[in-house]
Amino acid sequence: MSSIRITILCENTVGPVSGTLGEHGFAALVEGDGGSVLFDTGQGDTLLHNALRMNRDLRRVDLVALSHGHYDHTGGLLPLLRNCGAKDVHAHPRIFSRRYRVKDTGESIPIGIPYDEAFLRGMGARFSLSESFREILPGVFLTGEVPRITGFEKGDAALFCDDSGCSADPLPDDQSLVIRTKQGLVLLLGCCHAGLVNTIEWAREKTGECRVFAVIGGTHLGFSPPGQVDSTVTALRNLGIKRICGSHCTGFAVSAKLLREFPAEFHPANVGYTLEA
Ligand SMILES: [Fe+2]
Ligand SMILES: [Fe+2]
């Protein structure tokens, strides 16, 4: 797309737009001359409310893309389908896997998608499930499964496929949206469980565009060891990224560090934040 606007619809915190609400989750609307994409849907408590407060008509959204199968990115799909009609939904086939966060105490919390595939299809979700990098609108791509190449992005050790915490969950379904703009690539991230640097390198390789203008969304750096944050800062500096817009699982402490490291480039991307390119 030659020009785009990304608006954060669901996020843990809100900005100055009157009457908007926060929730633990993420959703963003991409609008451009080639169409519009809703990327993630939050938990389901704030998507429709915040879209209305920001005068965004989600009935007109061309398609939905889901970054991965966690509830805080997929739970809003049901209210979206109920209120805004049937939608094409792009995702990885593993979004329906069982998912748990297992605490140090042994307590396990189910964190997977709260509805099964047949139910969502019955409610109007026209799923297109693929593991591959693909173009979903002109100049707009989904990364598909991201190869894990860096040594320092090891994933969140508290995430499991079973409630007893025996089988680690590598989140193979985690993917990001990549938009080709005149200024370079813009990457829109859900939780980026695949690792921010892994995701950036995969996007550069698959598009053949080496310039990265912006990253926006959840980085999961808030759940990573300090060494990973430091290595990520070095990689971002080497890439010369112009906008680093942290949301959701980036967390307060890592956001503060990124602001200190990148005072001109870092912006907290909460509900109502817009990025244009
Ligand atoms: Fe998340
Ligand atoms: Fe997640």
Neighbours of 164 (CB within 10 A): 10
Percent above pLDDT 90 for the chain: 97
Residue 172 has pLDDT above 80, yes or no: yes
Average pLDDT, the chain: 97
Average of pLDDT values for 172-197? 98
Query: Distance, CA 68 to ligand 2 centroid (Å)?
Result: 7
Rounded distance from Cα 41 to ligand 1 centre (Å): 11
- Distance (Å) from CA 161 to ligand 2 centroid: 13
pLDDT for the residue numbered 2: 74
DSSP 33-47: TTEEEEE---SSSSH
Residues 154-169: tens digit of each pLDDT: 999 999 999 999 999 9
- Calculate how far, in angstroms, residue 220's C-alpha sits from the geometric centre of ligand 1: 8
Contact 274, 6 (CB under 8 A): yes
The pLDDT of residue 62: 83
- SS3 letters for 56-110? CCHHHCCEEECCCCEHHHHCCHHHHHHHHCCEEEEECHHHHCCCEEECCCCCEEE
Q: Return the ligand number nearest the Cα of 174.
A: 2
Distance 194 CA to ligand 1 centre (A): 13
Tell me the pLDDT band of 34, cut-offs 50, 70 and 90: confident
**Distance between Cα 248 and ligand 1 center (Å):** 7
Residue 98 has pLDDT above 90, yes or no: yes
Give the mean model confidence (pLDDT) for residues 81-87: 98
- Report, as an integer, the average pLDDT of 172-188: 98
**Cα–Cα distance, 10 to 41 (Å, whole number):** 7
**Per residue in 103-155, pLDDT tens?**
999 999 999 999 999 999 999 999 999 999 999 999 999 999 999 999 999 99
Q: Which of 129, 60, 72, 65 is nearest to 99 (CA)?
A: 72
CA of 69 to the centre of ligand 1 (A): 9
Identify the nearest ligand to the CA of 111 by its number.
Answer: 2
How far, in Å, is the centroid of ligand 2 from the Cα of 84?
Answer: 25
Predicted structure pTM score: 0.97
Q: Which residues pair with 14 in a beta bridge?
A: 271
Write down the pLDDT at residue 262: 98
Each residue of 36-68: pLDDT tens digit? 999 999 999 999 999 999 999 999 998 999 999
Average pLDDT, stretch 258-262?
A: 98
